[in-house]
Amino acid sequence: MPVQTAGSREAGTSSPLQAAFALWRIDIGGLEQKKVPEKQAPATPIAHKRLDETKVWQIITFLTDSAGQIPPYMPGMAETKPVLMGMALYQQRCAVCHGKKGTDDGPASKRMYPQPRDFSLALFKYKTSPGTLLPRDSDLFHTIERGLTESGMPGWGELLSETQINSLIPVIKGFDVTAAWAPEDADEADFDERGYYLKTDFRQIAEAEPTSGQVPYSEGSIAQGKVAFDKICIKCHGPEGRGNITSGKSRLEDDWDNRIWPRDLTKPWTWRVTQADGPEAQSREQTIRNIYTRLSIGLPGTPMPAHRATEAGNRDPLSFEERWHVANYVYSLRQKTVPPDDKPLIQALHTAGPLPDGLDDAAWENAPPVTLRLTPSIIKQEHLTTPLNDAVTVRALYNDRDIAFLLEVNDRTDSRPGEKVSMRMQDRRYRLNPDALAIRFPRVDAVETGPQVLTPRYLHGNETNPTTLWYWNAGSIEPPQPASQLLLDAIGPAQKLTLRKNDQSLSAHGQWERGHWRVLMKHPREANNGRDVSFNEGLLIPVSFLNWDGSNGEALYRNTRTPWYWLVLSTPPETDQGLALPVGVSVGVLLLGFLLMRGQRSKR
* 16: pLDDT strictly greater than 60: no
Segment 329-333 shows an average pLDDT of 99
Q: What pLDDT is recorded for position 56? A: 76
Give the number of domains in the chain.
3
SS3 191: strand
* 416: pLDDT strictly greater than 50: yes
* 6: pLDDT strictly greater than 90: no
Last residue of a domain, one of 83, 114, 143: 83
- Tens of pLDDT, residue by residue over 346-364, are 999 999 999 999 999 999 9
**DSSP letter assigned to residue 164:** H
On whether both 522 and 392 belong to a single domain, the answer is: yes
SS3 9: coil
Q: What pLDDT is recorded for position 23? A: 59
Q: What pLDDT is recorded for position 373? A: 96
On whether both 285 and 350 belong to a single domain, the answer is: no
Give 600's pLDDT tier (boundaries 50, 70, 90): very low
On whether both 350 and 454 belong to a single domain, the answer is: yes
Angstrom distance (rounded) from CA 138 to CA 144: 10
Q: What pLDDT is recorded for position 588? A: 53
Angstrom distance (rounded) from CA 290 to CA 270: 14
SS3 231: helix
- Return the CATH number at 452: 2.60.40.1190
- Considering 24-38, 53-67, 171-185, 438-452, the range whose residues carry the highest mean pLDDT is 171-185
448 versus 108: the higher-pLDDT residue is 108
Q: Does residue 236 lie in a domain region?
A: yes
Q: What pLDDT is recorded for position 575? A: 46
Q: What pLDDT is recorded for position 413? A: 96
SS3 13: strand
Q: What pLDDT is recorded for position 377? A: 80
Q: Does residue 37 lie in a domain region?
A: yes
358 versus 597: the higher-pLDDT residue is 358
* 47: pLDDT strictly greater than 80: no
Q: What pLDDT is recorded for position 568? A: 96
Q: Does residue 522 lie in a domain region?
A: yes
Apex CA 336: angle with CA 397 and CA 345, to 5°?
A: 40
Report H helices in 303-430.
320-332, 420-425
Q: What pLDDT is recorded for position 528? A: 78
Q: Does residue 409 lie in a domain region?
A: yes
Average pLDDT, the chain: 87
- Return the CATH number at 242: 1.10.760
Q: What pLDDT is recorded for position 220? A: 99
Q: Does residue 160 lie in a domain region?
A: no
On whether both 500 and 565 belong to a single domain, the answer is: yes
Last residue of a domain, one of 279, 307, 336: 336
Q: Does residue 146 lie in a domain region?
A: no
SS3 22: helix
On whether both 325 and 354 belong to a single domain, the answer is: no
Please tell me the least confidently modeled range out of 54-58, 66-70, 600-604.
600-604
On whether both 382 and 509 belong to a single domain, the answer is: yes
- Tens of pLDDT, residue by residue over 212-249, are 999 999 999 999 999 999 999 999 999 999 999 988 77
Nearest one of 164, 147, 166, 167 to 156, comparing CA atoms: 147
The DSSP string of 442-458 is: EBTTS-B-SSS-B---T
Q: Does residue 603 lie in a domain region?
A: no
On whether both 418 and 363 belong to a single domain, the answer is: yes
- Tens of pLDDT, residue by residue over 511-548, are 999 999 999 999 999 987 878 999 999 889 999 999 99
On whether both 378 and 473 belong to a single domain, the answer is: yes
Looking only at the bridges linking them, the beta strands covering 436-442 and 540-548 are antiparallel
* 38: pLDDT strictly greater than 60: no
Angstrom distance (rounded) from CA 515 to CA 265: 11
Contact 142, 273 (CB under 8 A): yes
Please tell me the least confidently modeled range out of 99-103, 142-146, 554-558.
554-558
Contact 367, 397 (CB under 8 A): yes
% the chain with pLDDT above 70: 85
- Considering 35-44, 230-239, 309-318, 595-604, the range whose residues carry the highest mean pLDDT is 230-239
Give 438's pLDDT tier (boundaries 50, 70, 90): very high
**DSSP letter assigned to residue 346:** E
* 42: pLDDT strictly greater than 90: no
On whether both 544 and 401 belong to a single domain, the answer is: yes
On whether both 324 and 448 belong to a single domain, the answer is: no
Apex CA 552: angle with CA 119 and CA 423, to 5°?
A: 110
Q: Does residue 106 lie in a domain region?
A: no
Please tell me the least confidently modeled range out of 1-15, 117-131, 188-202, 345-359.
1-15
- Tens of pLDDT, residue by residue over 272-319, are 999 999 999 999 999 999 999 999 999 999 999 999 998 877 899 999
Q: What pLDDT is recorded for position 429? A: 87
Contact 386, 521 (CB under 8 A): no
Residue 19 has φ and ψ, to the nearest 5°, of: -65, -40
Task: Please report, for residues 68, 136, 138, 149, 557, the alpha-carbon distance to residue 142 in angstroms, rounded to integers and kept in the order given.
Answer: 21, 10, 6, 13, 37
Name, in order, each residue with C-beta under 8 angstroms of 504's C-beta and a sequence gap of 6 or more: none
Q: Which domain holds residue 10?
A: 1-83
Nearest one of 263, 251, 232 to 421, comparing CA atoms: 251
On whether both 329 and 349 belong to a single domain, the answer is: no
- Tens of pLDDT, residue by residue over 570-584, are 876 654 443 333 445
* 14: pLDDT strictly greater than 60: no
Segment 84-111 shows an average pLDDT of 95
Last residue of a domain, one of 336, 362, 385: 336
On whether both 406 and 285 belong to a single domain, the answer is: no
Nearest one of 217, 368, 335 to 266, comparing CA atoms: 335
